[in-house]
Chains A and B, each alone.
Chain A
Amino acid sequence: MKPKTINVTLLATGLVVQGDLILDHGMSTFALVSGSIISTAGLLHIGQGGMIKGKVQGEIVRIDGVVEGDVHARDMLEINGVVKGNVYYCGTIRLGPQAALNGQLKRVPRELTIEAPTAGAPVTDNTNTTALTTS
C-alpha cells in the first residue's frame, strides 16, 4: 500500500506572522505568531523558541514553546512549555518536565474544544504548574 504523504507546514525561526492561521494539516512553528492558529488535522507543534500570542486549536497539540492564550486540544495535548491561559482538552494530556501552566485546566467534551467557552464559564479544574528546570 502506498504510504500516505504527510503535509506539514513549517514556520521557521525568525518569522513573524500577524494574523490567524487555519490549516487542514499539521504545522510546526518556531516563529512568532500574533494571532490564532487553528489546525483541523494532524499535529500542531509549537516548537521550542516559538511564541503564539493567541488561541491555539488542534487535534493533537504539542507545546514546547510559549503560548499566551487558551489552548484547545481535541485529541491529545502534550505540554512541555509555557501556557498562559486556559487549557481545554478532550482525550489525554501529558505534561513534560518543562511544562508551566498558568491558567485553568479542564477536560471537556469534544465539541466544546472547538468553540471556546465564553468568559466567565465555569471551569472546574484549576491547575497551576511550574516548569521544572532541567539543566
Chain B
Amino acid sequence: MRRTMDIREIQALHAKYAAQPVVIDINGHVEAMPALPAPDGNRSRIALPRLGRLKRLVRPVAIAVAAAALAAGGGVSAAKLWRALRAPSYAELMHEAPTPAPRPTPAAASALTSTHSLTAADFAGSASAPTGTLASVDPRSLTARQDAPSTNPSPREQAAPSDLDKAAAAPIRAPRTAPVAHTGAPTAASATTEPAPQPAASPKTALRHLRHGTARPHAAPAENTEPATQAPATKAPAAGKSGDVQLF
C-alpha cells in the first residue's frame, strides 16, 4: 500500500538526520551542578593550613640555623687564627726563656750505663729495705752525681735532653739501678759516655733475675760472699739454674 508523507513528516525526517552542532555550555553546566559534598573528615582541611604554616616556617628556620652554623664556624676559625697569630711560637719561647735541660737522674744514668745484668745477689742485700723507687737509690751516688756537673759540666750535658734520656729518667727504670748504685761502680762521667742501647735491650733478663731473687730469699746470703769482681754475665745463668732446681 502506498502512503504519502506530509510536510511535517518530511521535516521531522530531515531533522532526525540533520547534524546538529554540539555546543557544550560549560559555564551553564557548572552553574547547574549541585554543590560538591563535603569531605568526610575535616582533619585534612585543618591539617593542610597547619602544614602550610610549617612549610612557611621551615625556610626561615633553616636559614637561621645555617647562619648560626656559619657564625659559629667563623668564630672558631677566628679564635684559632687569633691564637695562632697572638701566641708566641715555640722558637720564641725557647729563645726568650731557655729552661735548663732536665738531667737524667743518677739512677737512670747508671741504668743506661750498666753493662752487667742484675743478679740475685744484688737484691739480697736490699731485702730488708723497702722496695720503693726512691728507697733503693743510694744517696751517695746522688751527691756524687750532682757535684760532678757543677765542677766540670760538659757541653753535652747542657744540651736539651733527648727522648732517650727522658725515657731513661722515667721511674720505671729506677729499681734496676739501685743495686748498681749500691756497688758504687759507675760514675757520672761513665754514664754519659757509655752507649745507652745496652740496658734497653735486656729488660727480660732483668725481670727474670728479679723473679728468681724473690723466689728464694734464703739463697742470697751465700751469694753475697762472692767477690764483686766476678763476671755478672756468667754468674746470672748459674744462679738461675740453681734457683730452678731448688724450686723443683
A interface residues, Cβ below 8 angstroms from B: 1, 4, 6, 8, 10, 13, 26, 28, 30, 42-43, 45, 47-49, 60, 62, 76, 135
**Out of B2, B14, B20, B23, which one reaches A26, CB within 8 Å?**
B14
Residues of B within 8 A of A76 (CB): 17
In the bound assembly, the distance between CA atoms of A94 and B45 in angstroms comes to 57
In the bound assembly, the distance between CA atoms of A45 and B15 in angstroms comes to 12
Q: Inter-chain contact count A-B, CB under 8 Å?
A: 45
Residues of A within 8 A of B20 (CB): 4
Known A-B contacts A1-B23, A13-B4, A49-B4; A42 and B17 likewise in contact (beta carbons under 8 Å): yes
Give 30 CB contacts A-B under 8 Å.
A1-B23, A4-B18, A4-B21, A6-B11, A6-B14, A6-B15, A6-B18, A8-B10, A8-B11, A10-B7, A10-B10, A13-B4, A26-B14, A28-B5, A28-B13, A30-B4, A42-B14, A42-B18, A43-B14, A45-B10, A45-B14, A47-B5, A48-B3, A48-B4, A48-B5, A49-B2, A49-B4, A60-B17, A62-B13, A135-B1
In the bound assembly, the distance between CA atoms of A31 and B51 in angstroms comes to 78
**A-B residue pairs, 4 tightest by C-beta:** A43-B17, A8-B14, A60-B17, A28-B10
Additional pairs, 18, CB under 8 Å, beyond known A4-B21, A43-B13: A6-B15, A6-B18, A8-B11, A8-B14, A10-B7, A10-B10, A28-B5, A42-B18, A43-B17, A43-B18, A48-B2, A48-B4, A48-B5, A49-B2, A60-B17, A62-B13, A62-B17, A76-B17
